[in-house]
Structure 1
Amino acid sequence: MPDVPNPRTSRRRTLKTPIAPWEMTSGRHTRGARRKLETRARLLDAAFALVAEKGMDGVTINEITEAADVGFGSFYNHFESKEGLFVALVEWLFEEFACTLDHLASGLSDPAEVIAVSVRHTLMRAYREPVWGQLLIREGFSAHALSRGLGQRLLRDSERGISERRFVVADQLMCLISAIGTILAGIAAELHFAASSKRTVRARKVLRSSEAKFAERTAAIVLQAFGLKRVEAEKIAQRPLPTSPTSRPVEKGH
């Protein structure tokens, strides 16, 4: 997926601090350690904002340190290279989001609904934040897709569904690969719709495929891969999404 600047992602996006606020002020970290964590957070935040504007290949270390208000030499106290920073950025973004999904689904007892909620939130966030979606596609095809972040949660939730006999699959690994492929293909389609011509947008309206409906349909397909019947899968995928009263916005304007 090409890194194409998008007007909906040109706003500055502030990432959540990678440690809890109470840790920042508690005695758990020394003052020096807190400063180091804060500097690392600023570098990651600045990198994401620049990637959203220019794409990964168009960003330099100097631009990142300038945007983060960090000395150029200090960059190497945190990352070995620009590529190392981008790896950390991807891990941070998707671990943060995976934890958010865990919180949203914490009150759900049905593994099928947990997966449906996770898929729908993932598709809708990719629609709202195309650069985030592009990074997720890149991460989804990496060698670590099932061992961390969203892939790790999908593996966990599918294992729970299988152990509770909610899911019936002949081959768990192939089922997971199929589910991940469906989700990534759905995100790619969303990004295509978002950047397409007016004719494609009109066609989408005729098909009644809003981003929310598209996310529901994708979730239903994933559930069918885990052995649910189509009618039940669609019913679960259309349930009201749980909301988090304590969740914070992921974007801020200038």
Structure 2
Amino acid sequence: MPATTNSSATPASTSRHQRRREKTRARLIDAARTLVAERGVDAVGLSDITEAADLGVGTFYNYFQSRDEIVEAVAEASIESLGARMDLMTAGMDDAAEIFSSSLRHLVRHAISDPLWGWFVVRLGVAHPKLIDILGPRAARDLRQGVDAGRFTIADVDMTTACVFGALLSTLHYVISAPVQDGIDEVFAQAMLCMVGVTPGEARDIAARPLPELSDVPSTR
């Protein structure tokens, strides 16, 4: 006698269930991202997130253990993906100064094109460990590469990383708070290149180079 199968556990039903879970999780993340961008982390409570997502608190706990955990998930979704795309873009570049410049320019441009993302990063702030964990090592890596190649003159890479980080957040706040001139990303990159020891004339030339497009990172799923 052939064995009976449980239709509720078929691949199709499992796939539908997974898609529903992904959509629900995305609703929570989108709500948290919007609220943090509008108010800042400290002004957003768990109930605010569930209300904005139109979901119950019980549903929230099916996906996240706390408000801090969902904020970290939003940071991963919003910032790590961009960082990975910039890594892919710069992988074939030889000039450390161009790598540094291109990454900074893309961050500024992304904030201008997606102000919600910009406000999220600004209001997450330099004090949030997840933001530092994602962007900090990349900035330090690029700076050390420039020092090793003799392109940058830096006395302390960690201190310089902190300076770049603070300048980036201030610049993102500036560009999303009011209309800005065309090429503001180049102006920022030029200033940061000068800060790490590139001469003003060369910094201007590097910052004005055609900016490579970002490619999507291949899915591992």
Same fold (TM > 0.5): yes
Measure how far apart 1:245 and its partner are: 5.7
The CA distance in 1 between the partners of 2:21 and 2:147, in whole Å, is 39
Find out whether 1:151 has 2:139 as its counterpart.
no
State the one-letter code of the partner of 2:78.
Answer: L
| CA distance 1:101–1:85, change in 2 (3 Å) | same
Q: What is the count of residue pairs matched by the alignment?
A: 201
> Could you list the runs of 5+ residues in structure 2 that have no partner in the other structure?
1-10
Following the alignment from structure 1 to structure 2, what is the Cα–Cα distance between the partners of residues 78 and 105? 34
Give the match for residue 224 of structure 1. Answer: 194
Q: Which residue of 2 aligns with 1:8?
A: none
Aligned match of 2:51: 63
- Larger helix share, 1 or 2: 2
Q: 1:77 to 1:146 in 2, by over 3 A?
A: closer
Query: Deviations along 1:23-62, whole A, 9 cap, x unmatched?
Result: xxxx9xx96995697243342134335656x545477133
CA distance in 1, matches of 2:162, 2:96: 18
Task: Sort the Cα spacing of 1:150 and 1:245 in 2 relative to 1 into closer, same or farther, 3 A.
Answer: closer
Whole-angstrom CA distance in 2 between matches of 1:167 and 1:223: 8
User: 1:78 and 1:36 mapped to 2: Cα distance?
Assistant: 12
State the secondary structure of the residue aligned to 1:148.
helix
Confirm or deny that 1:234 pairs with 2:204: yes
Question: 1:160 deviation in Å?
Answer: 1.4
Unaligned runs of 5+ in 1: 1-26, 195-203, 249-254
Q: Determine the C-alpha separation between the residues in 2 that align with 1:229 and 1:241.
A: 20
Q: Taking structure 1 as reference, are residues 246 and 133 closer, same or farther at Cα in structure 2, changes over 3 Å only? A: closer
Q: Identity of paired residues, percent? A: 33
**Cα RMSD over matched residues?**
3.1
The structure-2 alpha-carbon separation of the partners of 1:242 and 1:214, relative to structure 1 and needing over 3 Å to count, comes to: same
Corresponding residue for residue 214 of structure 1: 184
CA distance 1:75–1:122, shift in 2 (3 Å): same
**Can you list the C-alpha shifts for 1:122-170, whole angstroms capped at 9, x where unaligned?**
1111112222112222344125377522222111111111122221111
